[in-house]
């Protein structure tokens, strides 16, 4: 099971699809993660992040410290000026720039680095609503995934429990449109070095420490806007 995170999809539903539910992403199985970008030396400005991204032993499962040298510093969490007039409390996903913004009052936003679909066609676009939240969510392949690749997903048809090896990481925010599960989530990851890249099957990956922070800030009913690839906040 140790190799599962690099093989399993992050964009799946913990429940069987409902009639009328949109189909899941076209190819729900991500490739083996590519080599991370070259290590970047730490700077004085990054030093506070050693605390933000420190190991967390207070959760049900151990969350290791993030190796900051394997992530471009611009993708680390920070409060920034926000140029758009979106309503405070809205989550804006900028797939082009690899950021998710939680809009705040006063023209400010909390910005998180993300990983997006490895192909633009895999990314959800438009508006959605967070209608479910889960800590240490369970992962289960969809029936379509099992039918498409029974050798890989058949033995996992009953899913994996939440935990340190689960590809959804520490938290998941479930995106719905018109009352139906889109099969897309904002969730944690066991591969933090993929943040800032096109690595997922369409879901939005955040560092575990970041998805925990966002999870605390957004309630059920939060509006999420996923910008098209040719539109960026910056």
- Which tens digit of pLDDT belongs to each residue from 88-118? 999 999 999 999 999 999 999 999 999 998 7
**28 has a pLDDT exceeding 80:** no
C-alpha to C-alpha distance for 72 and 193, rounded to whole angstroms: 9
CATH topology of domain 45-226: L,D-transpeptidase catalytic domain-like (2.40.440)
| Highest mean predicted confidence (pLDDT) among 23-27, 141-145, 169-173 | 169-173
The closest alpha carbon to 125, from 25, 228, 197, 49, belongs to 228
pLDDT of residue 65: 97
Backbone angles phi, psi at 117, to 5 degrees: -60, 140
Q: What's the whole-model pTM score?
A: 0.79
User: Token digits for 35?
Assistant: 């080599």
C-alpha to C-alpha distance for 136 and 162, rounded to whole angstroms: 5
pLDDT of residue 10: 40
* Average per-residue pLDDT for the chain: 82
Handedness of CA 124, 130, 136, 139 (dihedral sign): negative
**83 has a pLDDT exceeding 70:** yes
pLDDT band at 18 (very low <50, low <70, confident <90, very high): very low
pLDDT of residue 29: 37
């Amino acid at each position: 099971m140790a190799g599962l995170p690099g093989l399993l999809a992050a964009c799946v539903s913990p429940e069987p699809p409902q009639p009328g539910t949109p189909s899941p992403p076209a190819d729900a199985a991500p490739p083996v993660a590519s080599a991370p970008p070259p290590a970047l030396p730490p700077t004085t400005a990054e030093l506070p992040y050693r605390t933000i991204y420190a190991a967390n032993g207070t959760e049900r499962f151990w969350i290791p410290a993030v190796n900051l040298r394997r992530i471009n510093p611009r993708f680390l969490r920070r409060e920034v000026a926000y140029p758009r007039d979106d309503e405070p409390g809205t989550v804006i996903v900028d797939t082009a720039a690899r950021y998710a913004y939680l809009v705040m009052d006063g023209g400010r936003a909390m910005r998180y680095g993300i990983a997006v679909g490895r192909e633009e066609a895999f990314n959800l676009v438009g508006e959605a609503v967070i209608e479910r939240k889960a800590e240490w969510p369970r992962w289960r392949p969809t029936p379509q995934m099992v039918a498409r690749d029974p050798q890989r997903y058949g033995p996992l048809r009953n899913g994996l429990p939440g935990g340190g090896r689960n590809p959804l990481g520490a938290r998941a925010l479930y995106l719905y449109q018109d009352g139906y599960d889109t099969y897309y989530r904002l969730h944690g990851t066991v591969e933090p070095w993929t943040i800032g890249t096109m690595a997922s099957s369409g879901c939005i990956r955040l560092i575990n420490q970041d998805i925990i922070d966002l999870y605390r800030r957004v309630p059920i009913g939060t509006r999420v806007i996923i910008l098209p690839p040719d539109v960026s906040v910056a």
